[in-house]
Amino acid sequence: MIITSTKDLDAIRQSCLSRLYTPEGVKVNIGMASCGIAAGAQASYNRAIQEFSTKQGITISQTGCIGFCEMEPLVEIVAQGKPRMMYHHMTEDKIVEAINGYLVGDYHKKWILGQMRDPRNLLEDQIPNPQDKIQPAEGFPFLEDIPFYAKQVKVALRNCGYMDPDSIEEYIARKGYYAFMKALTMAPADIIKTIKTSGLRGRGGGGFPTGIKWESCAKHSGDRYIICNADEGDPGAYMDRSVLEGDPHSVLEGMLIAALAIGSKQGFIYVRNEYPLAVKRLITAIKEAEKIGLLGDHIAGTNFSFHIKISRGAGAFVCGESTALMSSLEGHVGRPRAKYVHTVEKGFRDGPSNLNNVETYANVAPIILKGGDWYASMGTANSKGTKVFSLVGKVINTGLVEVPMGIPLKDIVFGIGGGVPRKKEFKAVQTGGPSGGCIPTRFLDLSVDYQKLAEVGSIMGSGGMIVMDQDTCMVDVARYFLDFLKEESCGQCNPCREGIKQMLDILTNICQGNGKEGDIELLEELGTTIQRFSLCGLGTSAPNPVLTTILYFRDEYEAHIRDKKCPAGVCKPLFHYEIDPEKCTGCHSCAKKCPQEAITGEKKKPHQLDQSKCIKCGICYDTCKFDAIVIR
């Protein structure tokens, strides 16, 4: 079937709705994004197929990531008239037991994350929602009420985890491509006006207003290009990968709408080669869209033609920078260039080029369908809508979260994230990727938006959020990020190439116990120089982690330099472990685990630790339940 009208979409949607909400028999949705597969979902999937596919009435299906990565593999079981149950930490054996239990109404309480009250996305207002009509299972929480999901609002992630990413029919059933059909009837200027009204800012890091970018690009003549930046190289960030793996059509639809608005015939998705599953699902999505005439020539029977090609990057962080990306896309070395001529005027192949991030495009369709004012009603004065964060590090509930802009930082870290595990103290949260900053405890009330994060010396970046606890050494953290950036610098300008290396050498010395008076001031001076004189964003933002850790954790730097101590117990030459005889109960647990046999002692009596044997692996520190192993 070739789509020529919204009615055609309606026909596909109607034929597919039951598959999503009222399946025949029982449907088992297995989270098959990278996070799920890494946790063992493939084995559960294979086992479920092997056990049940021959039995009538049980369908095994895949979805993308539903966000709660800590709980993977996640599996949802759905049947008409029964509650939709979400199971966590599934294994090959558990999934068989869970399905068999579900069939007879035994939901295996200890494996249940929750029952889903409403699986619709925000675009589906009139869908008959059977979950409203059925009797919920008593004694099981609703997924939407558990702290991890309660404050989330899913716009970019509206379909991730709720549908099969390889099925264009399921995307259409969730009101996919309706926004594009609407955009086909709008004047390009009106599309741009809607995006401007929404206040959407680019989610790739810089936060540039998307509508203004589209408008500038449309003004310049020549072959115009629509490019999607799926390079995502920040350590700890996987928002874009999850969108591509869980809902690739949302990105294609956003690009199609951008192409209509700007007047482009050719689109490119630049995606790093380390994302094979994202690439695979994108290829399928493009083929499926072409098959029903939503990509290609004369789309929907109109004069509008648009093609999308995938280009695989080799995985260099600097290739995420817009000019470097375009250079790489042209087949040259991916090096940034000075932007006195903007890429919206002269970018890829010297044509006007609009580059947006994956998440930016994923937000476009809902804005077109629901209106710019709707999107602008969420968020703060200068940061509208929602933002996806990957919440990782020392936090109980790691995962992918989408929240309205302006939410207090503590609501993310403690409300959604559940705080720091093992009763350790929260120390800082690093936002904005390697060039972001570390935000200390006293700013936990900060409302998360572009402006407020910048006020405390950090950035929104693309949405990485790394939580750190008392056992994190802030000097070592700064060293880690700088080491990453030194490797990733393209090396064409002096301040970045030499300056980052100089700063890294100083930090390495400090961590090795060779820091000296004046080092902190030298780091500050070098940092400011690199910020001022580097050519691209990699250099101008590289000193951020160093400068913010000096700003908020100067005492830790001083302890390293003056006292030759690492208070967090990370920099090996600067600390040792001791056993506090007052606290030691003589339980012997640490001794049993020590790989060096460095701990000895009689049961129920304080133990001794032989420094000459100890390699400072920290196993005893992590093992002791009585806080008797201390860092000195």
Residue ranges that bind ligand SF4, judged by CB under 6 A:
318, 336, 489-493, 496-497, 534-536, 538-539, 577, 579, 584-590, 594-596, 598-599, 607, 609, 614-620, 623-624, 626, 628-629
DSSP 372-421: HHHHHTSB-SSSBSEEEEEEEES-SS-EEEEEETT-BHHIIIIIIT---G
Task: At 145, list the tokens.
Answer: 């009420």
**DSSP structure class, residue 424:** P
Stretch that binds ligand FMN, among 147-155, 354-362, 368-376, 439-447 (CB under 6 A): 354-362
User: What residue 205 binds from ligand FMN, ligand SF4, none (CB within 5 to 8 A, per partner kind)?
Assistant: ligand FMN
Number of residues that bind ligand FMN (CB under 6 A): 23
The amino acid that residue 449 corresponds to is: D
Task: At 373, list the tokens.
Answer: 């004012």
Return the closest-CA partner of residue 388 out of 226, 194, 281, 241.
Answer: 241
Task: Indicate which single residue of 36, 199, 204, 334 sits in contact with ligand FMN (rule: CB under 6 A).
Answer: 204
Nearer to ligand SF4, 148 or 577 (CB): 577
Nearer to ligand FMN, 208 or 480 (CB): 208
Q: Which H helix or E strand runs over 560?
A: helix 544-561
Nearer to ligand SF4, 287 or 592 (CB): 592
Q: What's the rounded Cα separation, in Å, for the pair 483 and 481? A: 5
Stretch that binds ligand FMN, among 67-75, 248-256, 536-544, 557-565 (CB under 6 A): 536-544
Nearer to ligand FMN, 405 or 609 (CB): 405
Tell me how far, at minimum, the Cβ of 356 lies from ligand SF4, in Å.
21
Return the closest-CA partner of residue 471 out of 560, 570, 546.
Answer: 570
Each residue 485-524 as x (binds ligand FMN by CB under 6 A) or -, in order, gives: ----------------------------------------
Nearer to ligand FMN, 200 or 631 (CB): 200
User: What residue 534 binds from ligand SF4, ligand FMN, none (CB within 5 to 8 A, per partner kind)?
Assistant: ligand SF4
Task: Indicate which single residue of 75, 262, 355, 574 sits in contact with ligand FMN (rule: CB under 6 A).
Answer: 355
What's the alpha-carbon Rg for the chain, to the nearest Å?
26
Nearer to ligand FMN, 151 or 501 (CB): 501
Q: Which H helix or E strand runs over 578?
A: strand 577-579
Q: Which residues are within 8 A (CB) of 554 and not within 5 positions of it... i.e. 6 or more apart?
A: 520
- Four-residue CA torsion sign, 264, 266, 271, 275: positive
Return the closest-CA partner of residue 457 out of 394, 541, 556.
Answer: 541
Each residue 279-318 as x (binds ligand FMN by CB under 6 A) or -, in order, gives: --------------------------------------xx
Task: Indicate which single residue of 198, 322, 328, 549 sits in contact with ligand FMN (rule: CB under 6 A).
Answer: 322
Tell me how far, at minimum, the Cβ of 334 lies from ligand SF4, in Å.
10
Task: Indicate which single residue of 114, 320, 385, 393 sits in contact with ligand FMN (rule: CB under 6 A).
Answer: 320
C-alpha distances in Å from residue 194, one per residue of 212, 215, 358, 498:
11, 11, 19, 45
Q: What's the rounded Cα separation, in Å, for the pair 622 and 450? A: 37
